[in-house]
Amino acid sequence: MSAVLLIAIPLLVAFVSILSKKLAPWLLLATPIANLVLLFLVPTGIVVIGGFQPPFGISLLLDTYSFIALFAVNALVFVIGLLNVKEYHQFSSILLVALAGLNGLILTNDLFNLFVFLEIAGIAAYLIAASNKKPASVFHYLVLGAVGSSFYLFGLIILYAMFGTLNMVDMIEKINAATVSASALILPFFLMFVGLGVEAKLLPFNSWVKGVLGSSNTMSGPMFASVYAVTVSFVFGRLLNNLFAFQGNLLVVVVAILLLGIALGEAMAFSSKKAREILLYSSIAQASVVILLFVNGLVLWGALLAVANAVSKFVLFYVVTKAQKEVGCDDLDSLQGMFQGNYVVGVAFSVAALSVIGIPLFAGFVLKLGYLTELAANANWLAIAVILVASLVEGIYYVRMLVKLWYPGEKEVKVSFGNVATVVIALAAALLLVFGVYRGPIDNLDNTIDSVSEVIDLG
Amino acid sequence: MKKLFAFVLTIGLGVLMIFSLRANTLFPEFGDVSIADRISALFLDKSVNGDNGDVVFGQTTDAEDGAANLVTSIVVDYRSFDTLGEVTVLFISSLGVALLLGVAGKQKRLALNFKPNFMLRVGSRALFGIILMTGVYVILHGHLTPGGGFPGGAMIASSILLLYLADDEFRTKVKGFKVLESVAGSLYVIVGLLGLVLATYFLQNFLPTGTVGDLFSAGVLPIVYVLIGLKVGSEISGIIDHFLTEGDLA
């Protein structure tokens, strides 16, 4: 048993799945389940591939950090597959390749291998976005995504020219050993930050998000807003925490980009009247918050916030895209009163929204309290101020949205969600409630969930 | 205004690059890198798992990597996992082409804007065989000489493209390509899994590597390259077919 199976199995199944259109959807559902079981069986630590010990060859790293991300990604892909398997059955093979790519992104301990998986996951993402039937916006995304990954690659090439290694742990060791001023490394780190920033929806690089998520459907919406978002956050977090040594001017620029992202994201969400746009701008702001936590070294809180956001955004996006499909429009006015007769879905949606705002009793509150306390301990008052004001704005537009969706308008809006979807959404919301009250698992974890520095210490 | 902004941004990025790399003690001048203190030095010496001494063409036997072609030894042995990833990149691209351009029901060829004559058709058939065999040769000798699965597969696909361009009636069996693509891809992963089972690690070589320079050497490398060649050839051929056919409304 080896963690490489988490990548190899979806890949093998994807290759096989193109032979039978009938079997492919079943394979899509079985594979994430198999991965979830495997995840608990495989040992943690460095996984060597090809028999060449690191820093030679390619290796993977499975620790608590990647375990959390893998669990979230595989579970979410299963759920999204389950809810869309009938309508989007021709996307089964693509989702399987995407799963392999995302698992690879999370697991890999090699910076070039990371680029390869970024390509796989990226191309899969363009195809998933193609299900929106808005070719121009997908093309826009394709161009931005390709330029972004080239930036990452370019930064990596410079690092490779400097240190002659691609293994992440080895690279970090060599950077630590090289006694040079941080300014010598500004360019590669900045290029890699920009490259990943495109996928992570950070502010100046995220012009694709509106076109793709603004016209998303029940498959592409949750895939981008939860699965891709959580993966990219974790990958970004790993690099930010261990590799990128942001200091001086570069740190100021990065923090400014992130704070601006939070502020503008919430402002745009506030001024929007379309349900999907509100959610997508809110995800842009949340993505910036997560990255900001990673930049400040709050690994645990960043990771948990990314997972909590993934669960909430899955519920929010699925409900809104489903309603949009049935009503044909996602203006809040035309969806008015859609929760009348859909009480379970309505409650679950409200739980997810309130958790994103950070109301007590929901998971979002525990997290917000946690990371604000840590930021206060670091005397990071500017970040706290921006996050608090952002939460207030967030609270206003989410509550406005909830009121709209609960209270019936002049026209009766009928949306049927089906039993499976209702149960799944209710379970996801229940998770947010449980972790809003019971914080045992969180207390047992700390920043050491990311074990790269331990691996380096051990040599 | 937008164009001017883009222009300024591009110039700015260029200036940033020049200033941050010029006189940067970490960034070596072109040609100044000492290969001895890079990890790639051990790839060249085939000495990653212990020093194996000098590698001599036609004499060294049972090296940790048996490929005479250094590029192949890195691409398909030391970093084979990346290559599996690249194969997947092509796979999902062809899936995407099939998803976007594929049509259910009856299909017909896109018409050429000239009528191919008899000589062109027969001549291209003759060339087809030569190109195909060159492709097969390049794939089979990928571990010895420059070439390998990717260029060889592209050659095979180009021979198919020739038939498509020289004959407006020609269609291949796309279903066959799909089966080949699927089987070749699956076998690559299975070779990797066999490494996990028969040896210790995923994608580890589990066959004897023979003498460096022999046709039958380098363990699983030639097998993997044949699979890659078949997969690349069938995938690109499938893409060509999708581009040159359309739904038949009649």
**Torsional sign, CA B193, B197, B202, B203:** negative
CB contact under 8 A, A97 and B181: no
SS3 B245: strand
Q: How many CB pairs under 8 A join A and B?
A: 154
pLDDT for the residue A415: 82
Mean pLDDT for chain B?
86
10 Å Cβ neighbour count for B131?
Answer: 19
Mean pLDDT for the stretch of residues B85-108: 86
Report chain B residues whose CB lies below 8 A from the CB of A100.
88
What Rg do the C-alpha atoms of chain A give, in angstroms? 21
**Torsional sign, CA A436, A442, A446, A451:** negative
Report chain A residues whose CB lies below 8 A from the CB of B37.
164
Q: What gap in Å lies between CA A28 and CA A94, rounded to an integer?
A: 9
Query: Do the beta carbons of residue A219 and residue A84 sit within 8 Å?
Result: yes
pLDDT for the residue A459: 59
Query: Do the beta carbons of residue A433 and residue A47 sit within 8 Å?
Result: no
Query: Do the beta carbons of residue A52 and residue A286 sit within 8 Å?
Result: no
Q: What gap in Å lies between CA A294 and CA A236, rounded to an integer?
A: 8
Q: What is the DSSP string of A265-308?
A: HHHHHHH--BHHHHHHHHHHHHHHHHHHHHHTT-HHHHHHHHHH
Residue A274 bridge partners (DSSP) = A331
Mean pLDDT for the stretch of residues A24-32: 91
Burial of residue A47 (CB within 10 Å: 0-12, 13-18, 19+) is: buried
Mean pLDDT for the stretch of residues A112-126: 93
pLDDT digits (tens, 9 = 90+) for A303-319: 999 999 999 999 999 99
pLDDT digits (tens, 9 = 90+) for B101-137: 877 777 777 777 888 888 888 899 999 999 999 999 9
Q: What gap in Å lies between CA B153 and CA B177, rounded to an integer?
A: 13
| Domain extent for A197 | 5-458
Q: Tokens for A281? A: 């701008």
Q: What gap in Å lies between CA B82 and CA A104, rounded to an integer?
A: 11
Mean pLDDT for chain A?
89
Mean pLDDT for the stretch of residues A81-105: 91
Residue B173 has pLDDT above 80, yes or no: no
Mean pLDDT for the stretch of residues A143-168: 91
Q: What gap in Å lies between CA A101 and CA A96, rounded to an integer?
A: 9
In the 8-state DSSP scheme, what is residue A407?
S
Please measure the distance between the N-terminal and C-terminal CA atoms of chain B and give it in whole angstroms: 49
Give the closest-approach CA distance of A384 to chain B in angstroms: 32
Check residues B26 and A292 and name the one with the higher pLDDT: A292
Q: What gap in Å lies between CA A196 and CA A207, rounded to an integer?
A: 14
pLDDT for the residue A86: 85
Mean pLDDT for the stretch of residues B235-243: 89
C-alpha pair distances (Å), A116 with each of A187, B59, B81, B175, B229:
21, 36, 10, 28, 19
**Torsional sign, CA B35, B38, B44, B49:** positive
pLDDT digits (tens, 9 = 90+) for B136-152: 999 999 888 888 889 99
Mention every residue, 6+ apart, whose C-beta is less than 8 A from residue A108: A58, A60, A61, A114, A117, A168
Query: Do the beta carbons of residue A248 and residue A182 sit within 8 Å?
Result: yes
Residue B250 has pLDDT above 70, yes or no: no
pLDDT digits (tens, 9 = 90+) for B15-41: 988 888 887 778 888 888 888 878 888
Cα A319 from chain centroid?
A: 18
Query: Could you give the number of structural domains in chain A?
Result: 1
Mean pLDDT for the stretch of residues A281-289: 92
SS3 A62: strand
Element at B107 (helix H, strand E): strand B107-109
pLDDT digits (tens, 9 = 90+) for A338-380: 888 888 989 999 999 999 998 888 888 888 988 999 899 988 8
Q: What gap in Å lies between CA B32 and CA A387, rounded to an integer?
A: 48
Q: What gap in Å lies between CA B94 and CA B85, rounded to an integer?
A: 14
Q: What gap in Å lies between CA A40 and CA A55, rounded to an integer?
A: 27
Check residues B184 and A329 and name the one with the higher pLDDT: B184
User: pLDDT band at residue A151, thresholds of 50, 70 and 90?
Assistant: very high
CB contact under 8 A, B85 and A120: yes
SS3 A46: strand
Burial of residue A410 (CB within 10 Å: 0-12, 13-18, 19+) is: exposed
User: pLDDT band at residue B231, thresholds of 50, 70 and 90?
Assistant: very high
Query: Do the beta carbons of residue B84 and residue B222 sit within 8 Å?
Result: no
pLDDT digits (tens, 9 = 90+) for A401-421: 999 888 887 777 788 888 888
Query: Do the beta carbons of residue A265 and residue A281 sit within 8 Å?
Result: yes
CB contact under 8 A, A117 and B85: yes
Mention every residue, 6+ apart, whose C-beta is less than 8 A from residue B73: B43, B46, B65, B67, B143, B218, B221
Give the closest-approach CA distance of A286 to chain B in angstroms: 27
A residues 149-168 closer than 8 Å to B (CB): 158, 161-165, 167
Q: What gap in Å lies between CA A72 and CA A305, rounded to an integer?
A: 12
Q: Name the residue of chain B whose CA is nearest to A164's CA.
A: B38
Q: Calculate the dihedral angle through the C-alpha atoms of A287, A292, A295, A297, rounding to the nearest 10 degrees.
A: -100
10 Å Cβ neighbour count for A118?
Answer: 25
Mean pLDDT for the stretch of residues A185-214: 87
pLDDT for the residue A440: 76
pLDDT for the residue A273: 87
A residues 107-126 closer than 8 Å to B (CB): 112-113, 116-117, 119-120, 123-124, 126
Report chain A residues whose CB lies below 8 A from the CB of B93.
123
Report chain B residues whose CB lies below 8 A from the CB of A8.
189, 192-193, 202
Nearest CB among A164, A178, A186 relative to B20 is that of A186
Q: Tokens for B183? A: 């089987």
Mean pLDDT for the stretch of residues A56-77: 91
CB contact under 8 A, A51 and B204: yes
pLDDT for the residue B227: 92
Check residues A121 and A450 and name the one with the higher pLDDT: A121
User: pLDDT band at residue B77, thresholds of 50, 70 and 90?
Assistant: confident
Q: What ipTM was assigned to the predicted interfaces of this complex?
A: 0.91
Cis preceding linkage at A441, omega within 30: no
